Structure 1
Amino acid sequence: MIAFKDLAPSIHRQRLVVEGYPTFVITDEHIKEYLQKLSVVTDMITLIEPVTHISDLYGWAGWIHWETSGAHFYSWERPVQFFSVDVYTCKQFDPEAVVEFTREYFRTTEIVAKEF
Protein backbone atom coordinates (compact mmCIF):
# COMPACT_ATOMS: atom_id res chain seq x y z
CA MET A 1 0.00 0.00 0.00
CA ILE A 2 1.18 3.54 -0.73
CA ALA A 3 2.02 5.54 2.40
CA PHE A 4 -0.27 8.50 3.04
CA LYS A 5 1.34 11.91 3.19
CA ASP A 6 -0.55 15.03 4.20
CA LEU A 7 -0.13 17.21 1.12
CA ALA A 8 -2.00 20.18 2.59
CA PRO A 9 -1.26 20.39 6.33
CA SER A 10 -2.46 24.01 6.47
CA ILE A 11 -6.00 22.93 5.46
CA HIS A 12 -8.08 21.32 8.22
CA ARG A 13 -9.75 18.10 7.07
CA GLN A 14 -11.81 15.81 9.25
CA ARG A 15 -13.44 12.55 8.22
CA LEU A 16 -15.82 10.27 10.07
CA VAL A 17 -17.50 7.05 8.94
CA VAL A 18 -20.50 5.85 10.98
CA GLU A 19 -22.19 2.52 10.26
CA GLY A 20 -25.01 0.70 11.95
CA TYR A 21 -28.13 -1.41 11.97
CA PRO A 22 -31.33 0.66 12.08
CA THR A 23 -34.50 -0.67 13.72
CA PHE A 24 -36.71 0.44 10.82
CA VAL A 25 -36.64 0.59 7.03
CA ILE A 26 -34.93 3.83 5.98
CA THR A 27 -36.81 5.92 3.41
CA ASP A 28 -36.05 8.93 1.27
CA GLU A 29 -37.64 11.22 3.85
CA HIS A 30 -35.57 9.74 6.69
CA ILE A 31 -32.36 10.41 4.77
CA LYS A 32 -33.29 14.01 3.95
CA GLU A 33 -34.33 14.75 7.53
CA TYR A 34 -31.25 13.03 8.97
CA LEU A 35 -28.85 15.01 6.75
CA GLN A 36 -30.62 18.30 7.56
CA LYS A 37 -30.41 17.60 11.29
CA LEU A 38 -26.80 16.41 10.92
CA SER A 39 -26.02 19.91 9.62
CA VAL A 40 -27.23 21.34 12.93
CA VAL A 41 -25.35 18.75 15.02
CA THR A 42 -22.10 19.51 13.20
CA ASP A 43 -22.77 23.29 12.99
CA MET A 44 -22.36 23.30 9.21
CA ILE A 45 -23.88 25.77 6.76
CA THR A 46 -26.06 23.98 4.19
CA LEU A 47 -25.59 25.13 0.58
CA ILE A 48 -28.25 22.88 -0.98
CA GLU A 49 -31.00 20.71 0.44
CA PRO A 50 -30.19 16.98 0.65
CA VAL A 51 -30.34 15.02 -2.61
CA THR A 52 -31.35 11.33 -2.67
CA HIS A 53 -31.48 8.52 -5.20
CA ILE A 54 -32.49 4.87 -5.08
CA SER A 55 -30.79 2.00 -6.90
CA ASP A 56 -32.73 -1.19 -7.50
CA LEU A 57 -29.58 -3.16 -6.74
CA TYR A 58 -28.08 -1.28 -3.81
CA GLY A 59 -30.72 0.84 -2.08
CA TRP A 60 -30.82 4.50 -1.10
CA ALA A 61 -28.06 7.07 -1.29
CA GLY A 62 -28.11 10.68 -0.16
CA TRP A 63 -25.81 13.66 -0.08
CA ILE A 64 -25.76 17.13 1.44
CA HIS A 65 -23.43 19.94 0.40
CA TRP A 66 -22.06 22.15 3.15
CA GLU A 67 -20.01 25.29 2.81
CA THR A 68 -17.20 23.28 4.38
CA SER A 69 -17.65 20.04 2.35
CA GLY A 70 -20.49 17.57 3.01
CA ALA A 71 -21.80 14.15 3.94
CA HIS A 72 -22.89 11.03 2.05
CA PHE A 73 -25.45 8.54 3.31
CA TYR A 74 -26.08 5.00 2.07
CA SER A 75 -28.66 2.43 3.21
CA TRP A 76 -29.48 -1.15 2.32
CA GLU A 77 -32.54 -3.29 3.03
CA ARG A 78 -30.93 -6.50 1.79
CA PRO A 79 -29.09 -8.64 2.49
CA VAL A 80 -29.42 -6.82 5.85
CA GLN A 81 -30.84 -3.50 7.04
CA PHE A 82 -27.70 -1.38 7.28
CA PHE A 83 -26.50 2.19 6.77
CA SER A 84 -23.18 3.92 6.26
CA VAL A 85 -22.51 7.66 6.65
CA ASP A 86 -19.37 9.42 5.40
CA VAL A 87 -18.77 12.89 6.82
CA TYR A 88 -15.96 14.96 5.32
CA THR A 89 -15.36 18.54 6.37
CA CYS A 90 -12.82 21.32 6.37
CA LYS A 91 -14.31 22.60 9.63
CA GLN A 92 -13.91 20.89 12.98
CA PHE A 93 -16.91 19.03 14.45
CA ASP A 94 -17.55 16.75 17.42
CA PRO A 95 -17.51 13.12 16.21
CA GLU A 96 -19.06 11.83 19.44
CA ALA A 97 -22.05 14.14 18.94
CA VAL A 98 -22.49 12.78 15.41
CA VAL A 99 -22.37 9.16 16.59
CA GLU A 100 -24.82 9.78 19.43
CA PHE A 101 -27.23 11.69 17.17
CA THR A 102 -27.05 8.91 14.57
CA ARG A 103 -27.60 6.21 17.22
CA GLU A 104 -30.71 7.98 18.47
CA TYR A 105 -32.09 8.97 15.07
CA PHE A 106 -31.97 5.45 13.62
CA ARG A 107 -32.60 3.72 16.99
CA THR A 108 -29.69 1.42 16.15
CA THR A 109 -29.19 -2.04 17.55
CA GLU A 110 -25.44 -1.64 16.92
CA ILE A 111 -23.30 1.27 15.72
CA VAL A 112 -19.60 1.72 14.95
CA ALA A 113 -17.52 4.72 13.90
CA LYS A 114 -14.03 5.50 12.69
CA GLU A 115 -12.42 8.91 12.46
CA PHE A 116 -9.66 9.63 9.95
Structure 2
Amino acid sequence: MTPPSSAPDLLPRSTEWRELAPEIHRQRLVIEGIPAQPVDDAQIRAYLSALSREVDMVQLLEPVTHRSDLYGWAGWIHWETSGAHFYAWEQPRLFFSVDIYTCKAFDPEVAVAFTADFFAARTVVAKSF
Protein backbone atom coordinates (compact mmCIF):
# COMPACT_ATOMS: atom_id res chain seq x y z
CA MET A 1 0.00 0.00 0.00
CA THR A 2 1.33 3.40 -0.96
CA PRO A 3 1.08 6.06 1.74
CA PRO A 4 -1.04 9.07 0.82
CA SER A 5 0.77 12.08 -0.59
CA SER A 6 1.22 15.10 1.61
CA ALA A 7 -0.83 18.18 0.69
CA PRO A 8 2.16 20.10 -0.77
CA ASP A 9 2.74 17.18 -3.15
CA LEU A 10 -0.78 17.61 -4.49
CA LEU A 11 -0.31 21.27 -5.36
CA PRO A 12 0.93 22.01 -8.87
CA ARG A 13 4.52 23.16 -9.09
CA SER A 14 3.41 26.12 -11.19
CA THR A 15 1.09 28.86 -9.98
CA GLU A 16 -0.40 29.10 -13.46
CA TRP A 17 -4.10 28.24 -13.56
CA ARG A 18 -5.25 25.49 -15.92
CA GLU A 19 -8.82 24.98 -17.06
CA LEU A 20 -9.55 21.35 -16.19
CA ALA A 21 -13.22 21.19 -17.21
CA PRO A 22 -13.97 23.78 -19.91
CA GLU A 23 -17.29 22.12 -20.73
CA ILE A 24 -18.63 22.87 -17.22
CA HIS A 25 -19.59 26.50 -16.68
CA ARG A 26 -18.30 27.86 -13.36
CA GLN A 27 -18.52 31.46 -12.27
CA ARG A 28 -17.19 32.93 -9.05
CA LEU A 29 -17.61 36.37 -7.54
CA VAL A 30 -16.28 37.76 -4.26
CA ILE A 31 -17.87 40.96 -2.96
CA GLU A 32 -16.50 42.72 0.12
CA GLY A 33 -17.57 45.92 1.78
CA ILE A 34 -18.12 48.10 4.80
CA PRO A 35 -21.80 48.04 5.85
CA ALA A 36 -23.47 51.15 7.25
CA GLN A 37 -24.37 49.24 10.44
CA PRO A 38 -23.77 45.82 12.02
CA VAL A 39 -25.34 42.94 10.09
CA ASP A 40 -27.64 40.51 11.91
CA ASP A 41 -29.27 37.13 11.31
CA ALA A 42 -32.47 38.51 9.78
CA GLN A 43 -30.54 40.72 7.35
CA ILE A 44 -28.34 37.83 6.23
CA ARG A 45 -31.35 35.61 5.56
CA ALA A 46 -33.20 38.38 3.71
CA TYR A 47 -30.09 39.30 1.70
CA LEU A 48 -29.32 35.74 0.57
CA SER A 49 -32.93 35.08 -0.48
CA ALA A 50 -33.16 38.40 -2.32
CA LEU A 51 -29.76 37.84 -3.95
CA SER A 52 -31.16 34.59 -5.36
CA ARG A 53 -33.87 36.54 -7.16
CA GLU A 54 -31.52 39.33 -8.29
CA VAL A 55 -29.15 36.92 -10.05
CA ASP A 56 -31.94 34.56 -11.18
CA MET A 57 -30.98 31.49 -9.17
CA VAL A 58 -33.39 28.82 -7.94
CA GLN A 59 -33.30 28.67 -4.14
CA LEU A 60 -33.47 25.08 -2.85
CA LEU A 61 -33.37 25.73 0.91
CA GLU A 62 -33.94 28.63 3.24
CA PRO A 63 -30.68 30.40 4.15
CA VAL A 64 -28.76 28.97 7.10
CA THR A 65 -26.91 31.25 9.53
CA HIS A 66 -24.61 30.88 12.52
CA ARG A 67 -22.98 33.37 14.88
CA SER A 68 -19.54 32.76 16.35
CA ASP A 69 -18.53 34.81 19.38
CA LEU A 70 -15.01 34.89 17.96
CA TYR A 71 -15.62 35.52 14.27
CA GLY A 72 -19.10 36.98 13.79
CA TRP A 73 -21.89 35.90 11.46
CA ALA A 74 -21.85 33.38 8.64
CA GLY A 75 -24.64 32.47 6.26
CA TRP A 76 -25.16 30.12 3.34
CA ILE A 77 -27.80 29.52 0.72
CA HIS A 78 -28.12 26.49 -1.55
CA TRP A 79 -29.09 27.10 -5.16
CA GLU A 80 -29.93 24.56 -7.83
CA THR A 81 -26.78 25.78 -9.56
CA SER A 82 -24.49 25.95 -6.46
CA GLY A 83 -24.79 28.72 -3.84
CA ALA A 84 -23.43 31.65 -1.89
CA HIS A 85 -21.72 32.22 1.46
CA PHE A 86 -21.91 35.41 3.50
CA TYR A 87 -19.64 36.48 6.37
CA ALA A 88 -20.00 39.57 8.59
CA TRP A 89 -17.74 40.99 11.29
CA GLU A 90 -18.29 43.65 13.92
CA GLN A 91 -14.76 43.43 15.36
CA PRO A 92 -12.11 44.53 14.68
CA ARG A 93 -14.29 46.53 12.21
CA LEU A 94 -17.61 46.41 10.44
CA PHE A 95 -16.99 44.32 7.33
CA PHE A 96 -18.71 41.76 5.12
CA SER A 97 -17.56 39.25 2.52
CA VAL A 98 -19.76 37.36 0.03
CA ASP A 99 -18.59 34.35 -1.99
CA ILE A 100 -20.81 33.37 -4.91
CA TYR A 101 -20.13 30.19 -6.87
CA THR A 102 -22.43 29.06 -9.65
CA CYS A 103 -22.65 26.72 -12.60
CA LYS A 104 -25.04 29.17 -14.28
CA ALA A 105 -24.02 32.52 -15.74
CA PHE A 106 -25.09 35.68 -13.93
CA ASP A 107 -24.29 39.39 -14.20
CA PRO A 108 -21.67 40.31 -11.55
CA GLU A 109 -22.57 44.01 -11.81
CA VAL A 110 -26.14 43.23 -10.74
CA ALA A 111 -24.90 41.27 -7.70
CA VAL A 112 -22.43 43.99 -6.69
CA ALA A 113 -24.92 46.86 -7.06
CA PHE A 114 -27.62 44.94 -5.18
CA THR A 115 -25.22 44.06 -2.35
CA ALA A 116 -23.99 47.64 -1.98
CA ASP A 117 -27.57 48.94 -1.89
CA PHE A 118 -28.84 46.25 0.48
CA PHE A 119 -26.20 47.00 3.13
CA ALA A 120 -25.99 50.75 2.40
CA ALA A 121 -22.27 50.16 1.89
CA ARG A 122 -20.33 53.18 0.66
CA THR A 123 -17.20 51.12 0.10
CA VAL A 124 -17.49 47.89 -1.91
CA VAL A 125 -14.93 45.92 -3.91
CA ALA A 126 -15.51 42.86 -6.08
CA LYS A 127 -13.53 40.30 -8.02
CA SER A 128 -14.82 37.84 -10.61
CA PHE A 129 -12.90 34.75 -11.54
Q: How does the TM-score come out when normalised to structure 2?
A: 0.88
Instruction: Indicate the SS of the match to 1:83.
Output: strand
- Deviations for 1:29-79, whole angstroms, at most 9, x for unmatched residues? 000000000000110001111000011100000000000000000000000
Bigger relative contact order (CA 8 A; separation at least 6): 1
Q: Is 1:23 equivalent to 2:46 in the alignment? A: no
Q: Partner residue of 2:116?
A: 103
Once the two structures are aligned, what percentage of the paired residues are identical? 61
Which of 78, 95, 102 is 1:82 aligned to? 95
Instruction: Indicate the SS of the match to 1:26.
Output: coil
Considering only CA atoms, is the larger Rg found in Structure 1 or Structure 2? Answer: 2
**TM-align CA RMSD:** 0.7
Where does the alignment leave 5 or more consecutive residues of structure 1 unmatched? none
Instruction: Indicate the SS of the match to 2:92.
Output: coil
- List 4+ stretches of structure 1 deviating above 3 A: none
Q: How does the TM-score come out when normalised to structure 1?
A: 0.98
AA at the equivalent of 1:60: W
Measure the CA separation in 1 of the matches of 2:112 and 2:60: 23
Higher share in strand = 1
Measure the CA separation in 1 of the matches of 2:46 and 2:90: 19
Q: Partner residue of 2:60?
A: 47
Q: Report how many aligned residue pairs link the two structures.
A: 116
Tell me by how many angstroms 1:108 deviates. 0.4
Tell me by how many angstroms 1:6 deviates. 1.0
Tell me by how many angstroms 1:109 deviates. 2.0
